[in-house]
Structure 1
């Protein structure tokens, strides 16, 4: 077995000793099982030629080929080791993590060359630098085994091969074990076709978490590819404000087809935010807020907070409502936990709540936040019912992005 780092740049000579150029790349066929190396990519002066691997006589100090090797062209399903695999990120389906290919192992079996696996360890990097021998004393000093970190081909899932075409393996439970934000970060570096294939292979819960961590452009492109049923399944599990962002670019018919498949509560929240999205701050409203009744005790409110805070990324204030669901007060989480459990909320809440409305300008929102030193402000209707909150981070980010 040898490595691609040991091959690239080697001189190519014919059986009669004529110089044919230097090896620039290997071409392989991404078929079932171990990928077969099919061609050499050779550069001589400024010209690039491809020769069939069958014309290779031997590989030692030089790559020796037949006297008149056959010139060939790239087939539709073939890929390059250097261009399509080396230095790319892959999914280690056994270790359930994303790793980087530092080198590629080539095996020769009865004059058939194939990719045996990839080196994801430090030795792969040092091998390219010609410094691999320097690692031996280091490993010996620390008593660490001096072996390459080699992943066999069957243990990896390449995702960026062949212009967005992905052939998944039957180990998708391992994909579900990868952290959603890490998988989303990786998927944003590949094509939407790849993303769609991977998302389709995940569980509903994991798919929703991954989509929630994707850039909005990927979210929107994905949902437009899904059937209404599949889209509804995903949107049911993502945050309401994220669902609104995704649906805001859909046409009317697409929205209606998906909305009618959602639960009544989810549909109500999304429809309300979609209606508000045309207002000044509508797209900045975060609907998941902590609320409590004015006659609740501190202990009761704390229990509500514990149940509600799961899945809520914003939790600084608890908003107090009366029996008509009108906003009448606010209390910080810090103040809530500093009082005795039996204390009624109406005794400790701040009744003078600084509020904003869907039509309030972004500039006015920032002015109010700075004046009253509030990180977030509640958004209410004309009947003083709370819709959600707008945070300082979101409104300033929105303004800066448009400068």
Structure 2
């Protein structure tokens, strides 16, 4: 019978300290070694869900153990409360759609939503909380690499000998898991497997998020982009250059591409479509909302560098007889609806242009 919570030597432990640890069953027989852990989100953090046990030297096989069956975790080994006969070993792991620490986090690129950059994970830091192992931090520093290589004690001793105040010793580079956005890809949806930091992602300005995306590999860039809401997608798309825009839409399906174009300001949609072959433009317009398609089709009839090519259907016209208060009210109402306003046109009673600001 499982204990109420796993026993540990410490409240904290690193993934590198778990790697290769002996796993024993309820009868204290060795059934394999620690290989991996499947985690699940709990609010802004994540906790242990499944222990992956590895067995065999040449022909390796793996068994999944629900974390509820883990009765003890120490730096000397892991104990489970079931017998060896209750484990089903297989040469293939069947957790492709779930978040694996070894495959999806360790040595992988992730987004640090707090510092708004892309980082590489060198080790993973756990906190024992109740009966769960909670992912507390990721280690992005040199110390994480040294720890995984097994030289932490030696290197620490040498560094302290020469400089006991070294940042290597006193300032570990740990990033809180609540600021981490994993980029592992769900093979079915082709989006990121788990969006643990969606709120933090939305707090990153579109300009900064677009720069983050450019630091990612093409497949992770696409997976992260597909995870975002349509407003953020269109904002980021607007900030990309034409080459990057074309590349992104080529990787997206037609439906997603058209949705983005439908949400772009008119002049930006015209600029983008003007760079495409006519056949491609006709295909896109045929898939767009009829009102938008008709508007864009009309504007695309102008040469790219002509006045028409720079046109937008979004504008503000104010009567020359309007008071300042009336003009401000009109401007406020119009700008709430319009995406792009460059000028305010002054017109007379017959709507003739008298000037602009």
Query: Which TM-score band applies after superposition, normalised by the shorter structure?
Result: 0.5 to 0.7
Q: CA deviation at 1:94?
A: 0.9
1:94 is matched with which residue: 114, 128, 131? 114
- Matched with 1:173 is 203
- Matched with 1:268 is 302
Judge conservation of contact 1:79–1:162 (CA < 8 Å) in 2.
no
Show the 5 A alignment for 1:41-190. 41-45=52-56, 46-60=60-74, 61-68=76-83, 70-71=86-87, 78-133=98-153, 134-135=155-156, 137-138=158-159, 140=163, 143-144=166-167, 146-163=170-187, 164-166=190-192, 167=195, 169-171=198-200, 172-174=202-204, 176-178=206-208, 180-186=210-216, 188-190=218-220
Looking at CA atoms only, which structure, 1 or 2, has the larger radius of gyration? 1
Q: Distance in 1 between matches of 2:246 and 2:257?
A: 19
1:293-346 CA distance string (max 9 Å, x none): xxxxxxxxxxxxxxxxxxxxxxxxxxxxxxxxxxxxxxxxxxxxxxxxxxxxxx
Query: Is the aligned partner of 1:36 residue 2:54?
Result: no
Q: CA deviation at 1:9?
A: 1.4
Q: TM-score, normalised by structure 1?
A: 0.57
Q: CA deviation at 1:92?
A: 1.0
Q: TM-score, normalised by structure 2?
A: 0.63
Aligned pair in 2 of structure 1 residues 227, 84: CA closer, same or farther (>3 Å)? closer
Q: CA deviation at 1:97?
A: 1.0
**Higher RCO (C-alpha 8 Å, min separation 6):** 2
Q: CA deviation at 1:225?
A: 3.2
**SS of equivalent to 2:226:** helix
Q: Distance in 2 between matches of 1:228 and 1:199?
A: 14
Q: Distance in 2 between matches of 1:269 and 1:86?
A: 52
Q: CA RMSD in A?
A: 3.7
Q: Distance in 2 between matches of 1:220 and 1:59?
A: 48
Q: Distance in 2 between matches of 1:249 and 1:141?
A: 68
Judge conservation of contact 1:79–1:161 (CA < 8 Å) in 2.
no
Show the 5 A alignment for 1:279-358. none
Judge conservation of contact 1:92–1:98 (CA < 8 Å) in 2.
yes
Extract unaligned runs of 5+ from structure 2: 1-11, 311-357
Q: Distance in 1 between matches of 2:301 and 2:148?
A: 56
Aligned pair in 2 of structure 1 residues 159, 211: CA closer, same or farther (>3 Å)? farther
1:143-165 CA distance string (max 9 Å, x none): 42623211112112223243334
Q: Distance in 2 between matches of 1:265 and 1:247?
A: 16
Query: Is the aligned partner of 1:3 residue 2:17?
Result: no
Q: CA deviation at 1:269?
A: 4.3
Q: CA deviation at 1:218?
A: 2.6
1:106-148 CA distance string (max 9 Å, x none): 2211221221221122211111111223146537356426232
Q: Distance in 2 between matches of 1:105 and 1:249?
A: 53
Task: Tell me the matched-pair count.
Answer: 273
Judge conservation of contact 1:12–1:22 (CA < 8 Å) in 2.
yes
Aligned pair in 2 of structure 1 residues 90, 206: CA closer, same or farther (>3 Å)? same
**SS of equivalent to 1:178:** helix
Q: Distance in 2 between matches of 1:264 and 1:109?
A: 62
Judge conservation of contact 2:270–2:296 (CA < 8 Å) in 1.
no
Extract unaligned runs of 5+ from structure 1: 273-286, 289-403
- Matched with 1:226 is 256
Judge conservation of contact 1:136–1:146 (CA < 8 Å) in 2.
no
Q: Distance in 1 between matches of 2:252 and 2:266?
A: 12
Judge conservation of contact 1:188–1:215 (CA < 8 Å) in 2.
no
Judge conservation of contact 2:116–2:212 (CA < 8 Å) in 1.
no
